[in-house]
Amino acid sequence: MQPAKADPAAKAKEAAARRACEFVQSGTVVGLGTGSTANHAIRRLGELVREGALDIQGVPTSEASADLARVAGIPLLDLEEAGTIDATLDGADEVDPALDLVKGLGGALLREKIVAAASKRFVVMVDEAKLVPRLGTKAPVPVEVLRFGWVQASWKLRALGCDPVLRRVKEAPFSTDNGNWILDCRFPPIDDAAALERRIDAVPGVVDNGLFVNLATDVVVGNADGTASVQSRKR
């Protein structure tokens, strides 16, 4: 029987995560993202902590990331205790040439955006497939909404030019760690992400949305051969 071939996308994500961990220094507070690529980073940071090569405290962006960090041996802080975060490592669903992002297919967009905004450095880890010429090319924009009035919110979002679909898991609405629901909004490729972000947030019942504009300071792109490249910008 032939051995199973490694998934190129998984190898690329791991390469990006390992490179991103090089941004983390001892004695700092680190934001821990959510999703498959962030999981690679959490495991790698845990290895470095257990080896005594790194002394950090983590602020998780989801209950799932918190659970993984505890298993990995990373001491955790609440965001309120941490105050300012030195660096956050997280994945993304799309990255455009300006290093703006679509995030939230993992369902943690609200906490991810709060932690990213509280971070001195926001390091985003992706494989090449996540690079797009314009946001909305491949992924919908997740929009977190209150349960109360979600139908009315969906009507107003549709008026912005999208097709909002309530996210479900086994026929039941997907519930975020905050107890809210998510509308996955399929827009045409987006020309002005900052303007659209503001328009979405102005809809009554919207808690936040998955457009992350002018937040990423560094994007690490992993390749299937185990290499990774870095693009950086100033906020």
By annotation, the residues acting in catalysis are 112
CA 159 to chain centre: 26
d(CA 143, CA 133): 22
Nearest by Cα to 88 from 59, 67, 110, 111 = 59
Sign of the C-alpha dihedral computed for residues 205, 112, 117 and 15 taken in this order = negative
* Helical packing angle, 63-72 and 36-50, nearest 10°: 30
**In this structure, which amino acid lies at residue 202?**
A
Distance in angstroms (rounded) separating the CA atoms of residues 17 and 30: 14
Q: How many residues does the chain have?
A: 235
